[in-house]
Amino acid sequence: MICQYKESILLEGILEGRMPLVKSSLTAFEVKRIAETAASGTRHSVGGVSGLELQKSRSGSCSWVLRTLINGKRREIGLGSFNSVSLKDAREEAKRLKYDIRLGNDPVSERSQRRLDAKIAEKLELRFSEAVELYLNHKLKEFQNPKHRQQWRSTLSTYAAKLNERRVSEIDLKDILDILKPIWLSKTVTASRLRGRIEKILDWAALHGHRSGENPARWKGNLELTLQKQSALKNQKNQPALMLSEAASWYSNLRKRSGIATLALEFCALTAARSGEIRGAKWTEIENNFWIIPAERTKTSREHRIALSKRAVHLLTHLPKNGDLIFPNSRGGQLSDAALSSCMRRIQKEFPQMYLDRESKRPAVPHGLRSTFSDWAAEKTEYPFEMAEIALGHKVGSATARAYRRMDMLQKRVKMMEDWSNFLEGKFRPSL
């Protein structure tokens, strides 16, 4: 190959009526003088290789240019600036390029393709978190409601955080399912919104060259083959919940009533605990404004620590302590589940058009208060998903969740439950 290269250079000189590196070739010193004294906007042949020129721009900067024929067309190839590429190196590069051209290659097109490939590669490096910001900066102007804009962003940051460091070009169906499956059955509305928002982000990324192929967040012909339809999930929901827009009104009506079952139901609302945990609650489980439910009384068989809001503490301090149970019935035993349900039904009967589940339109029930709390945390706050799940006593095994179980995270959970209490009282102002 080296012999062929040298022969090509020699042949080039012969065909052009000269020998390479003829005496007329300018020296480095002579070329430097030209660079210093030549008028702007001029070109100067430097010899050594046919077509190699020093070009001085109108701004006064100098650069190397090779003028040659490629497939019968006159082309110009930049070889770098005068300050960064020596005369010797410019001549060597010009020789190499002309030899490459004689072999039938097109270095100009190859350069263009390399630049295009580099741009494509750079686009494919875009992370999901970056794509979210770029998309939102472009689209959020369409949202007139500031809360809507914040909720859009908050949903993604809360539930799609696992995707943040993933390249949008690499996000696949498994990634989407990992995000959606944990909430698909329990938070149908939130999960549906999340899927749609991820789909829009990835569509935008594809449109701007950051990914290719099918959108893994698409429902039709894709996720519908793996996940259950929302209509089917609605039919499965058997614990009707209060709508967020009516929660404060319901709580206000509850506070106007009396009786141990009413107080138990209020405590149930304030703590988002299960009915059975409320009815079996003991005074010995209350410790330093926390309600510590022992493992043997929880559904998960794990100790559950609930932060008590000021209102919850106030409720407890005004209760008589007649025995071990906090909410005993008239005979000193546990309240029945029906007692709490009846209390809730009485409120709903007074307002037959209110306090209905958003999807099923059935009257809300005590257990549905947990779903209302979950919806509030997801849609009205920026509290992490894992923190809300722990507050509900759900099994969450991620490293983040384990961090929220540590004592140093309890104060954040105290703040969350205080905000929830304020929401029920109509005093909550989200930090949007």
397 backbone dihedrals φ, ψ, rounded to 5°: -105, 5
**Helical H segments across 160-243, by residue range:** 173-184, 188-207, 230-236
Nearest alpha-carbon partner for 169 in 214, 207, 119, 212? 212
Compute φ and ψ for 237, nearest 5 degrees.
-70, 115
Yes or no: say if 376 and 391 are a contact pair by the CB < 8 Å rule.
Answer: no
Name the segment(s) of the chain with CATH classification 3.30.160.390.
2-109
pLDDT tens for 219-273 read 888 888 888 765 544 444 457 899 999 999 999 999 999 899 999 999 999 999 9
CA–CA–CA angle 230, 232, 234 (5° rounding): 70
Print pLDDT tens along the chain (432 aa): 434 444 444 434 433 434 344 336 889 888 999 888 989 889 899 988 888 999 988 888 999 999 888 877 888 888 888 988 999 999 998 988 888 878 878 777 767 666 655 555 555 678 888 888 888 777 766 655 565 666 777 788 888 888 988 888 889 999 999 989 888 877 777 888 889 899 988 998 888 888 888 899 998 888 888 887 655 444 444 578 999 999 999 999 999 998 999 999 999 999 999 999 999 999 999 998 999 999 899 888 888 899 999 999 999 999 998 889 999 998 989 998 889 999 999 998 999 889 998 888 889 999 999 999 988 988 888 787 778 888 888 776 555 455 555 544 677 888 999 999 999 999 876 543
Give the model's pLDDT for residue 119.
Answer: 59
> How many C-beta atoms surround the C-beta of residue 199 within 10 A?
18
Residue ranges, comma separated, of all CATH 1.10.150.130 domains in the chain are 128-236
- The strand pair at 62-70 and 52-56 is best described as antiparallel
CATH topology of domain 2-109: Double Stranded RNA Binding Domain (3.30.160)
Pairwise CA distance, residues 16 & 27, whole Å: 21
- Return the amino acid letter for 173: L
d(CA 26, CA 24): 6
Q: SS3 for the chain, per residue?
A: CHHHHHHHHHHHHHHCCCCCCCCCCCCHHHHHHHHHHCCCCEEEECCCCCCEEEEECCCCCEEEEEEEEECCEEEEEEEEECCCCCHHHHHHHHHHHHHHHHCCCCHHHHHHHHHHHHHHHHHCCCEHHHHHHHHHHHHHHHCCCHHHHHHHHHHHHHHCHHHCCCECCCCCHHHHHHHHHHHHCCCHHHHHHHHHHHHHHHHHHHHCCCCCCCCCCCCCCCHHHCCCCHHHHHHHCCCCCCCHHHHHHHHHHHHCCCCHHHHHHHHHHHHCCCHHHHHCCEHHHEECCEEEECHHHCCCCCCEEEECCHHHHHHHHCCCCCCCECCECCCCCECCHHHHHHHHHHHHHHCCCCCECCCCCCECCCCHHHHHHHHHHHHHCCCCHHHHHHHCCCCCCCHHHHHHHCHHHHHHHHHHHHHHHHHHCCCCCCCC
- pTM score over 0.95: no
Q: Does domain 244-424 have CATH number 3.30.200.20?
A: no
pLDDT in tens, 87-98: 999 999 898 888
CATH number of this structure's domain 128-236: 1.10.150.130
- Which residue spans of the chain are classified as CATH 1.10.443.10? 244-424
